[in-house]
Structure 1
Amino acid sequence: MKRKRGVAVGLGYFSQFHLEAWMRIKEVDLVAICDTDIAKAEGTASQYGIPRFYSDINEMLANENPDFIDIITPPETHLELCILAAEMGIDIICQKPLAPDLKEAQKIAETISKNKVRMMIHENFRFQPWHREIKKLLDQQTIGNQLHSIHWRMRMGDGWQKDAYMNRQPYFREMKQLLIYETGIHLIDVLRYFGGEINQVFAKLQRFNPNIKGEDSALVLCDFSQGGTAIIDANRFHESTCENPRLTFGEVHIEVNKGHLHLHQDGRITVKRLGKPETVHDYHFEDKNFSGDCVYYTQLHFITQLISKKSFETDVQEYLANIRVLESVYASNSKGHPLIVQ
């Protein structure tokens, strides 16, 4: 089978996880990378054994004629890059946040449809191995068939210092929408993965660190169309007691009509059926790359579905539902009451 020729644009902090994962996917030849900082592009190409590097995206796409592009740049650049790639017939995998707002995200989706290319959002949390395992348990009705509640509690502890986020993602400090826009979108996607569509939200957002511009704390109540509720109880200010809070990004407790299950912060899953003792669910994961190797599994899904011509779980059109929920969260917080997700 002919390998897919890929290129990547954007070499910020998170790109290291993308590039390392591509190196392990045998169906892919990553032939070039691009960044406005040519020295960074050259050094990164050398580090990963990537044949060519560029500072001009137009030049890279014209010269390389890739099958797909991995877009790892900030969201305000995504529309322009997606138009460029789509009009050249290049398939796309693109990091989240997809766009600054729903209107621009819809323009991206329209561009993809118009040019008949394929696009997947790099929504990697749902590909974390514990979330895949929980989804299997729910689908197998291990603890019942009627969801009652999901409680996601996240404490990252990387946002309380005066110089919060400077060591890894300093642009976080200037974002007027932070926790939900940057991290909460992952949680929204996983909640929809577990419980189906969210039709109402009620949000209370706060900023605990006065040295940043956006919210760093969120309490969000979500109602599912098929029944059941979810609570997002998250902040980046307060610390977790676990060794590595960036493994699972919190703990998740799910109650169904015949019992509950719990994702612990070390990746363990425990199951408690009504009237039965709690047990540890046996499954395997590796703590490598980022958060259980979810970047690898995300990109493997993209390539597998691209080759087989099957649909992506996070196709751009399907992903718009996440952004509708996200915008409803901010609107609910502003208005101070629950809102129907439009």
Structure 2
Amino acid sequence: MSNLKVVLVGLGNFGSGWYRRLRRHPGVQAVCVVEANAQLRETIDSETPFYSTLKEAIISEHPDIVINVTPPHVHTAINEIAFEHGLPVLCEKPISDDIMDAQYIVGQAELKNIPFMISENYRFFAPVLKVKELLDSGTIGHLSSAHIEFDRYHVVPVPYFNRMANGLLEDVAIHHFDMIRYFTGQEAVKVFAVNSNPPGSWTETTTIHLSAWMELDGGTIVDYHGSMMAKGKVTEWYGDWRFEGAEGAIVLTSNRVQLIKEGKADEVYTFDGVGNVLSIDEFLAALKEKREPRPSGRDYLKSQILVHAAAVSSRDGKMVSVEDVLKK
């Protein structure tokens, strides 16, 4: 599939960036927009078709795909409408703000055999792709552990963030938890997590500090530290990573990938000025090649279940089994 007509649903904080991206993308022939807030029409080109509901846009424009950039609590309703019309969907993460809804909508996509991808853009950053290549090649041998640090002082202006029970975990660390699965090719078996707020936190309605430990099914141990109240060190949004293996280590920090063997740096890869693949590129390629997009809703559901398990662990104050957490 090429030169597609796209309906973009949502013109908020992320939607405006998506609009500009789609307008200049060579694989997109035309874009129409759905947005409930009519005032946002002034933020796009006047010739772009603008609708208040997705059903109206589908009937009038006959689009080929749907890009869902609405707030998380709206995702399910929009995805359902798209599926009712047989339209492939690229949806911003998470699948839904409710784990049961997430399971339901993934099931609907599979039942109706409709391509459904989550826009997990962290997987497509150039340094991340390089680390994945090194890990898959076995250059550091059997992977024993992974250590992740994410540190930023970041006040989130988006209203839905402060409505979350655990903002950092659900809105930011979900990227990192997905990267754990992506990098290692392993699934978490056990997780222990603590969500909290440090003194002087800029929010009182959600939590923006997270410590987590997990055991993966391949035996790899992972420890994670994340903060949106950091006053010192500042990491990239994808964080700083250190992978320890039987034959060496890999360190990812600030657009720099370092391979360490026999106690010394063997190679260093830098990525300043290197472009990243876009999630829309992967989605369009998957449609053209008639394959499952990466990550599909089915795959990303496992990342969201891991986040849910961490939230349950923090709430209950104990380690939990990821497999058993949805049975309760």
TM-score (norm 2): 0.91
Q: For residues 228-256 of structure 1, give each alpha carbon's deviation from its aligned partner in whole angstroms, at most 9, with x where no partner exists.
A: 111110010113434xx4x4442111111
Instruction: Please report how far the alpha carbon of residue 274 of structure 1 lies from its aligned counterpart in structure 2 after TM superposition.
Output: 1.9
Kindly report structure 1 stretches of 4+ aligned residues shifted beyond 6 Å: none
Cα distance between partner residues in 1 of 2:243 and 2:2? 43
Q: Which residue of 2 aligns with 1:204?
A: 194
Q: How many residues align?
A: 320
Q: Which residue of 1 aligns with 2:150?
A: 154
Q: For residues 93-142 of structure 1, give each alpha carbon's deviation from its aligned partner in whole angstroms, at most 9, with x where no partner exists.
A: 00111112221011111221232211001111111111111000111112
Cα distance between partner residues in 2 of 1:132 and 1:16? 26
**CA distance 1:240–1:134, change in 2 (3 Å):** farther
Question: SS state of the match for residue 233, structure 1?
Answer: strand
Q: Which residue of 1 aligns with 2:259?
A: 271
**1:237 is matched by which residue type in structure 2?**
M
Q: For residues 174-195 of structure 1, give each alpha carbon's deviation from its aligned partner in whole angstroms, at most 9, with x where no partner exists.
A: 3222111111111110000012
1:335 to 311, 316, 319: 316
Question: SS state of the match for residue 227, structure 1?
Answer: coil
Say whether the 8 Å CA contact 2:152–2:233 is kept in structure 1: no
Q: Which residue of 2 aligns with 1:239?
A: 231
Question: SS state of the match for residue 202, structure 1?
Answer: strand
Task: Tell whether 2:113 aligns with 1:112.
Answer: no
2:294 to 313, 328, 337: 313
Cα distance between partner residues in 2 of 1:7 and 1:130? 31
Please tell me the root mean square deviation across aligned C-alpha atoms, in Å: 1.9
Say whether the 8 Å CA contact 2:22–2:31 is kept in structure 1: no
Instruction: Please report how far the alpha carbon of residue 24 of structure 1 lies from its aligned counterpart in structure 2 after TM superposition.
Output: 4.0
Say whether the 8 Å CA contact 2:149–2:226 is kept in structure 1: yes
Question: SS state of the match for residue 51, structure 1?
Answer: coil
Cα distance between partner residues in 1 of 2:247 and 2:220? 14
Q: State the identity %.
A: 25
**2:124 is matched by which residue type in structure 1?**
F
Q: Which residue of 1 aligns with 2:326?
A: none
Instruction: Please report how far the alpha carbon of residue 31 of structure 1 lies from its aligned counterpart in structure 2 after TM superposition.
Output: 2.1
Instruction: Please report how far the alpha carbon of residue 332 of structure 1 lies from its aligned counterpart in structure 2 after TM superposition.
Output: 0.9
**CA distance 1:220–1:94, change in 2 (3 Å):** same
Cα distance between partner residues in 2 of 1:229 and 1:25? 40
Question: SS state of the match for residue 278, structure 2?
Answer: helix
Q: Which residue of 1 aligns with 2:208?
A: 216
TM-score (norm 1): 0.88
Gaps of 5+ in 1: 159-163
Gaps of 5+ in 2: 324-328
Cα distance between partner residues in 2 of 1:2 and 1:329? 40
Q: Which residue of 1 aligns with 2:249?
A: 260
